Structure 1
């Protein structure tokens, strides 16, 4: 007896997913996972901030990039939502008008979590390579590790693994290094400014 054909997920299926979950269509399968935990979100915001001033606005760096947090990318039949993505301005000269983007980024960063690590290290990494995306960072906040990959002849090559206490100087953003520990503010004691006025006693 012939097996029933597996139904392919549609964009309508993706749109029907509740807003508190992230939805993607990978190899025709609807994949959903919860919104990230605070550590994940803080690391994404901190990394975006580190890159935005020098590489997007050209303040203290070369500029020439556009960054988007959680863009919806349509890479052929694949619909994926990376945590961060960056395009060189010459490849995205105008603001996208649609809710999704079909131009593959030049750089992607996935922030690993228990609910996403299978896809981030597996099929999504392959999809990014198939789309010709030049650079991929995998940030694991739980382990305190950042891996930087470059696409060479269609294969991902690990350039470096950054650990806590080290400096991030990974292509394509190695022109302006920054301390890796800056992505984890709650692991450091609160900043105490000796010049700040003392709070009144109660």
Structure 2
């Protein structure tokens, strides 16, 4: 008879804190996921989208305001498998309506789920973003999720249903000019997201 398989130790927040600062680390269901920082096209898409949304929604310049739009916030959610433990996710961008979060927290993380997240998947993160993070965002009640792919040049929109499941995605491509919830108060020219 063979030896029984060793039970793998669940990662903790201390493991996440030990990851070198030049890496991105996230903790989902007791598993530590470590990725390299975004490649230039991905960083460009993230920065360009932040630039398009920050003025009108965060500052209220040329738009309605009423949002906190932040790059790479650390989100803490209760781990559903182990009481007292937490999951830690870092979306590329996230937004909170100020009516739900009037002030930024004093902590280095956010315990309140955002109203909107955006992920810019890369070949090394795409499966994790879709298969691990998107279900957590749905479970925690994030209403809107955008996936921006600078290689395929697509903006994929997901809206959470009342059953806490993502509805069918809507995909916009290339240089489309779109109005997309929750930021449909402005027209977004997708061509600004793709490196030229």
**TM-score normalised by structure 1 residue count:** 0.88
* Rounded Cα–Cα distance in structure 1 between residues aligned with 2:36 and 2:73: 16
Aligned to 1:26: 28
Per-residue CA deviation, residues 125-175 of structure 1 (Å, 9 max, x unaligned), is: 000000010000001111101101100021101352110121131110111
Match of 2:193 among 176, 183, 189: 183
Between structure 1 and structure 2, the one with the greater Rg is: 1
Q: Is there any run of 5+ residues in structure 1 with no aligned partner, and where?
A: 188-202
Aligned twin of 1:198: none
Match of 2:101 among 80, 89, 92: 92
Find the partner of 1:154 among 164, 169, 179.
164
- Alpha-carbon RMSD across the aligned residues, in angstroms, is 1.2
Tell me what 1:69 maps to: 71
Aligned mate of 2:12, from 10, 34, 37: 10
Deviation (angstroms), 1:5: 2.5
Secondary structure of the residue that 2:50 maps to in structure 1? helix
C-alpha spacing 1:159/1:118, structure 2 compared with 1 (3 Å): closer
The CA distance in 2 between the partners of 1:112 and 1:151, in whole Å, is: 19
Cα separation, 1, equivalents of 2:75 and 2:21: 17
Q: CA deviation at 1:2?
A: 4.6
1:139 aligned to 2:148? yes
> For 2:169 and 2:133, how far apart are their aligned partners in 1?
19
CA distance in 2, matches of 1:112, 1:28: 22
How many residues are matched?
186
Q: TM-score, normalised by structure 2?
A: 0.91
8 Å CA contact 1:160, 1:170 repeated in 2: no
Q: What does residue 175 of structure 2 align with? A: 165
- Higher relative CO (Cα under 8 Å, sequence separation at least 6) belongs to 2
Instruction: List 4+ stretches of structure 1 deviating above 6 A.
Output: none
